[in-house]
Amino acid sequence: MRIGFCYDTKSDYGLEEENMEYTDFVSLHTVTTIKHALERCGHTVQYIGNIDKLRTLLEKHKLDEIDLIFNIAEGFGSRNREALIPSLLEIYQIPYTASDTYGMAINLNKQHTKIIAASMGIPVPQGICFKELDTSVIDKIESIGFPIVLKLNSEGGSMGVTLVKNKNELIKETEHLISQYHSDILAEEYIAGKEITVPIIGNGINAQALGVVLIIHKNGKDVSLYNSNMKGVDNDITNSLKTGLLPNIEKSIREYSLLLHRNLELRDYSRMDFRVTSNGQPYFLEINTMPSLGRDGSFELCGKSLGLEYHEIIGKIVEAASERYNLL
């Protein structure tokens, strides 16, 4: 199959690679790794790049021979950033991997996905989403109780995730986040416990939760707060299939994850993130419809436990998209 590869990096938007204020981008190393995996599956791969490069090629009819776009481009500067390439490809009627415009857009709004999850009976942390920190917002946050986790409501990569322990820290950190990112802020009840993630591949009833993965410090300690500072080159974070959770708790987390993936009609692959308390109560945090496919991540780890090599995991994503479009 002839595959066009859409991706973007920090340099596409004038950001230095060392900039940890913005982390929701792929490295060129991972881009090359995925390309080699696709080629090992027998596909021919053409580098495209970000949405600007894609649009130029489409306007010049340079992609007429492409069968499928493998899309991992995150976009920048818009709450619809991940939805833009799917929208463009839908206009041109070009098949592509990963979720459609709606799936990408809803995934980027953490508060909206929590509301949807709660409506399905999935436990979520208490929280409030706001643009400005006025008295009514502070009162609501205080009623939830400190400590509180602050997040950027429409960003990924654990950007801006901050734990505040009192009103003064709340005001200070909120001012910084709004000034830096110009984003809605989600203030959320802090859930002490384990950081859990669930990688999924497939569509509809054929979607499969590959495993339940614990994100943990290399010394075995639980991650108290998973933020962008832990995602640098020299981080001490690792993934483990030894979650320490009871089988019925893992089963519930798998079921919650598949319920969201299927009911939102997410496509090809996704990842669901949770926190689980010491007494085994899971709380859904967010969806990632374009999760990391880098080496040694949750997808490769779970794939190995199922007897699959890295390139075969990437191949299964292509197969899922190809089945949707009847390309096989």
pLDDT tens per residue across span 225-258: 877 565 554 578 899 999 999 999 999 999 999 9
3-state secondary structure of 69: strand
Give tens-digit pLDDT for 124-168: 999 999 999 999 999 999 999 999 999 999 876 567 799 999 999
- Cα distances (angstroms) measured from residue 272 to each of 158, 190, 251, 255: 14, 18, 14, 11
What percent of the chain is modeled with pLDDT above 70?
Answer: 94
Look at 296 and 208; give whichever has higher pLDDT. 208
Tell me what the pLDDT averaged over the chain comes to.
Answer: 92
CB burial class (10 A; 0-12, 13-18, 19+) of residue 77? Answer: exposed
Q: What does the DSSP 8-state code read for residue 206?
A: G
Q: Which domains does the chain have, with CATH numbers?
A: 2-97 (3.40.50.20), 106-122+191-324 (3.30.470.20), 127-189 (3.30.1490.20)
Q: Give the residue from 44, 40, 36, 35 showing the smallest Cα distance to 66.
A: 44
Q: Give this prediction's pTM.
A: 0.93
* Cβ(263)–Cβ(255) below 8 Å: no
Long-range contacts of 167-172 (CB under 8 A, 24+ apart): 167/138, 167/142, 170/133, 170/138, 170/141, 170/146, 171/133, 171/138
Give tens-digit pLDDT for 306-327: 999 999 999 999 999 999 999 9
User: What type of residue is 221?
Assistant: K
- Please say whether the dihedral angle defined by the alpha carbons of residues 95, 99, 102 and 108, taken in this order, is positive or negative: negative
